[in-house]
């Protein structure tokens, strides 16, 4: 029977299928080797290496659930695809008891599979079973799988929305700018927070396209937003993700978007976190300097939550420091938070940077920040993130 089936050839590193995809095909490895990767604690880990004569993708094929793992070729690999129609045809002819048995075994396999983790990060071939499965964990894993599958179509299906939150100049009591914050309007799940899907987009590779979409959308909306500001140097802030800084073409893409929307580059601020820089400090420095040359500015987001030293502030061309909400929300009831905020503001000003306090929820906090000399505030007190009315 195998002789009659076609072969598919995969280059080293090429994806054979992704977790969350519909599984309409299993593969027999005729030549080469593949790695099986699953998402564990928000990180992709290789849990197995399979070679000649082994079968991959058979579970999703039979039980019609999305793929539970991502599979890639490690070396040049030849696969024999076994399509669903063929399996269906064979199953049809099988004894009903055997069919039922197969179903039960598959269900058990899926439940245990969700709780297996590698014994250690370096030990890719042995698996260790987690203790008793919990319903909640399983439900989360299943939801993540579903979202990983859905996110691939979210851009073309126009399911992302941009919400804007005002950033106010404290002393002048003016709206200085807006931060663009993405949301996913999922057809079944409703509005999904960026915290719940951006890390998935990083894993599935969608993040670059989404990053470009956010920039394009914010620049396109800028003329409307700009009319809602009343400050001398208005700006819109867009969040960057780690993968964006690694692309050579990123600066060119920003330039093109700015030109297309006829936007003054000086009115675009890009927000990044220390974690984004830590991964590739040299490349990051290059890209960030090029962005400054374009005329845009940079803000260091979530300041105070990172691990790095303060030399970051000198080494990178950062113009604005955004103090994390964790410190601002306890400004009035925690002496340590107050000291951290006070010294952050002094430090920023001594380095000629602006400061934005994140998460300003009450007037009392606004007043305190004003007293501490903080330039800008952002938070529910000034306004929640909302969509632009069309
Ligand atoms: P962030 O950049 O620190 O954004 C501020 C977050 O704090 C937003 O959450 C905002 O809604 C929330 N927030 C603002 N003011 C208050 C307040 O007074 N109280 C409280 N409790 N929360 C407040 P959101 O929109 O859920 O975004 C979460 C994170 O997702 C953002 O944190 C950012 O890291 C990321 N993110 C959002 N949009 C994008 C995007 O377009 N691209 C990228 N790469 N990341 C994004
Ligand atoms: Ca931000
Ligand atoms: Ca922040």
How does pLDDT run across 159-193, given as a tens digit for each residue? Answer: 999 999 999 999 999 999 999 999 999 998 899 99
> Class of the 2-141 domain?
mainly beta
Write the burial class of residue 353 (CB in 10 Å: 0-12 exposed, 13-18 middle, 19+ buried).
middle
Name the strand (E) or helix (H) holding 27.
strand 25-31
Is there a contact between 178 and 165 (Cβ–Cβ < 8 Å)?
Answer: yes
Interatomic CA distance for residues 368 and 104, integer angstroms: 63
Average pLDDT of the residues in 57-86? 83
Residues that place a CB less than 5 A from ion ligand 3: 301-302, 358
pLDDT of residue 146: 78
181 Cα: distance to centroid of ligand 1 (angstroms): 6
Evaluate if residue 116 carries a pLDDT over 60: no
pLDDT of residue 1: 58
**Is the pTM value of this prediction over 0.95?**
no
How many CA atoms are closer than 13 Å to the CA of 263, on its beta-carbon side? Answer: 30
Residues that place a CB less than 5 A from ion ligand 2: 239, 271, 301
Residue ranges, comma separated, of all CATH 3.20.20.450 domains in the chain are 158-387
Q: What share of the chain is helix, strand, coil (3-state, %, to 5)?
A: 40, 30, 30
Q: Which atom of ligand 1 is nearest to the CA of 195?
A: 30
Evaluate if residue 132 carries a pLDDT over 80: no
Mean residue pLDDT of the chain comes to 85
How does pLDDT run across 25-44, given as a tens digit for each residue? Answer: 889 899 999 988 887 666 77
Interatomic CA distance for residues 193 and 183, integer angstroms: 6
Helix (H, G, I), strand (E, B) or coil at 249: coil
Could you say which ligand is closest to the alpha carbon of residue 240?
1
Residue closest via CA to ligand 1's atom 27 equals: 194
How many CA atoms are closer than 13 Å to the CA of 251, on its beta-carbon side? Answer: 16
14 Cα: distance to centroid of ligand 1 (angstroms): 34
CATH topology of domain 158-387: TIM Barrel (3.20.20)
Question: Which segment, 92-106, 147-161, 246-260, 318-332, is predicted with the most confidence on average?
Answer: 318-332
Residue ranges, comma separated, of all CATH 2.60.120.10 domains in the chain are 2-141
15 Cα: distance to centroid of ligand 3 (angstroms): 34
């Amino acid at each position: 029977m195998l002789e009659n089936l076609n072969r598919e050839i995969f280059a080293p590193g090429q994806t054979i299928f992704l977790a969350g995809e519909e599984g309409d095909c299993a593969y027999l490895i005729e030549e080469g080797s593949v790695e099986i990767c699953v998402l564990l604690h928000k990180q992709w880990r290789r849990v197995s290496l399979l070679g000649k004569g082994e079968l991959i993708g058979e579970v999703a094929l039979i039980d019609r659930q999305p793929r539970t793992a991502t599979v890639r070729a490690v070396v040049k690999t030849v696969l024999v695809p076994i399509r669903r129609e063929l399996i269906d045809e064979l199953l049809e002819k099988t004894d009903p008891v055997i069919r039922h048995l197969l179903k039960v075994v598959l269900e058990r396999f899926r439940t245990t599979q969700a709780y297996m983790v590698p014994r250690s990060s370096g030990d890719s071939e042995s698996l260790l079973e987690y203790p008793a499965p919990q319903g909640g964990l399983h439900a989360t894993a299943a939801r993540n799988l579903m979202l990983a599958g859905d996110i691939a179509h979210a851009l073309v299906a126009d399911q992302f929305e941009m919400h804007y939150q005002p950033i106010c100049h404290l002393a002048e009591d003016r709206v200085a700018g807006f931060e663009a914050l993405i949301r996913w309007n999922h057809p079944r799940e409703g509005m999904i927070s960026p915290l719940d899907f951006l890390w998935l987009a990083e894993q599935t590779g969608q993040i670059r396209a989404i990053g470009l979409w956010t920039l394009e959308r914010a620049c396109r909306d800028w003329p409307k937003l700009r009319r809602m500001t009343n400050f001398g140097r208005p700006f819109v802030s867009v969040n960057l993700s780690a993968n964006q800084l690694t692309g050579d073409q990123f600066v060119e893409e920003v330039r093109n978007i700015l030109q297309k929307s006829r936007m003054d580059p000086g009115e675009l601020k890009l927000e990044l976190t220390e974690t984004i820089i830590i991964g590739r400090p040299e490349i990051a420095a290059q890209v960030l300097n090029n962005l400054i040359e374009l005329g845009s500015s940079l803000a260091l987001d979530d300041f105070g939550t990172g691990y790095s030293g303060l030399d970051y502030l000198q080494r990178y061309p950062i113009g604005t420091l955004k103090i994390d909400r964790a410190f601002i929300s306890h400004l009035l009831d925690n002496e340590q938070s107050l000291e951290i905020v006070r010294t952050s503001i002094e430090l920023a000003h001594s380095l000629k940077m602006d400061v934005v306090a994140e998460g300003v929820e009450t007037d009392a906090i606004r007043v305190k920040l004003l007293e501490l000399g903080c330039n800008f505030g952002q938070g529910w007190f000034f306004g929640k993130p909302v969509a632009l009315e069309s």
